[in-house]
Amino acid sequence: MKSLRRAGAAAAFVGAALCAAPFAACSIDDLDVRGKACVDACPGGLPCIGGVCGGPAEGGAADGAGGGTVPDGASNDAQADVGPPPDCPPGSCVAPAPAGWTGPFQIYDGNPANAPACPSVSPVVALVANADLIAPPAAQCSACTCGGASGAKCDKGTIGPGCTACPAQTAPAIYGCYTGLAITSCSGGSASTALVTAALADGGSCPPGGGVATRPPVTWQRAQIGCMNGNKSTSGCGAGLMCVPTPASPFDRVLCVMQAGDVGCPGAPYSAKRVVQKGTNDTRGCSACSCTAPTGVACPTTVNTYSDNNCMNATGTFTAPTCQPFSPAVGISVGAPVGGSCAPSGVTPNGTVTPSMPVTVCCMP
């Protein structure tokens, strides 16, 4: 082994103690944030190792001129080419995210209208969430409507003696050929004429419509945007630390970690808790529409007069209600029900909006 003297070193320091903190051979600006290495103050860019630029002399101490020892055959130039580890900017070495947590990341916490994109130094989108739900307006409901009536059935019409004298007297309802039925005449009535009324509709319904909900947008007071570097470099940092770019405006000046759900923070340095929401549970809607029973359904009732008892030779066709001679016979037929309408019910909005999918974000105080 041979001892090599570094040029100019004697003027920079005397003995190993000169490179102890505060480093006499290095200015504070020459050190990384933990004081791991001298950067430019040692001759030839040598690192500060063991309190000496370039390392201690053989036996652990520097010689009087600041020289160290190198193995025989090694050059001083080779040792001078040993550079310091890459720098991590001051204040950028932080604790990594604990197991089960994501981060560290910088976070924007502010007006959703001003939410920024992730910066180039931390381009990975780690979180898109919100906080402080603004009470949303109720759903807007369209008016209820009712479609046309359907499903009604027509009862039989009625037939009775006389046209005007005895309108309250009616025979049982009847379809088909009417002949030979004893119709009691009344005072002033004529047994040779019959009052035929139209059949009446029964039942049926109308299909409801409307009541369609339109949901106004959900709004929040604060947007939560998390951005990560994604590199997870430890170069230039002490044991157990990683280098993370320092956040800049409009991002908060702190770093955070996160975990799904509402959970406790993992502890220092990530101890300031906030719970943000990634979604909503929106149940806003409208009450169901309904319709009353139909009214105004008509049952087309046709009355035919015949010259024979078998209703074979028609002599006239009339629409009930009508009063016609029934001698020797009349025929009554009823068609399918037509028309009719239903009245719609009212409609009211219902339901609420609640936050969902919580995420716990724990930041440095």
* pLDDT for 179: 56
Peptide bond just before 86 cis, omega within 30 deg:
no
Higher pLDDT, 77 or 150: 150
Share of the chain above pLDDT 70, in %: 65
d(CA 217, CA 195): 65
Contact between 161 and 186 under an 8 Å Cβ cutoff? The reply is yes
pLDDT band at 281 (very low <50, low <70, confident <90, very high): very high
Contact between 154 and 249 under an 8 Å Cβ cutoff? The reply is no
Higher pLDDT, 155 or 244: 244
* pLDDT for 177: 65
- Cα separation values, 46 from 25, 67, 76, 83, 217, Å: 11, 12, 11, 6, 63
Strand partners, 205: 150
* pLDDT for 66: 35
Contact between 274 and 363 under an 8 Å Cβ cutoff? The reply is yes
* pLDDT for 84: 37
Digit-coded pLDDT (tens) for 51-73: 444 444 333 333 333 333 333 33
pTM summary value:
0.59
Digit-coded pLDDT (tens) for 304-349: 888 887 788 888 888 888 877 766 777 788 888 999 999 999 999 9
Summary mean pLDDT of the chain: 75
* pLDDT for 279: 97
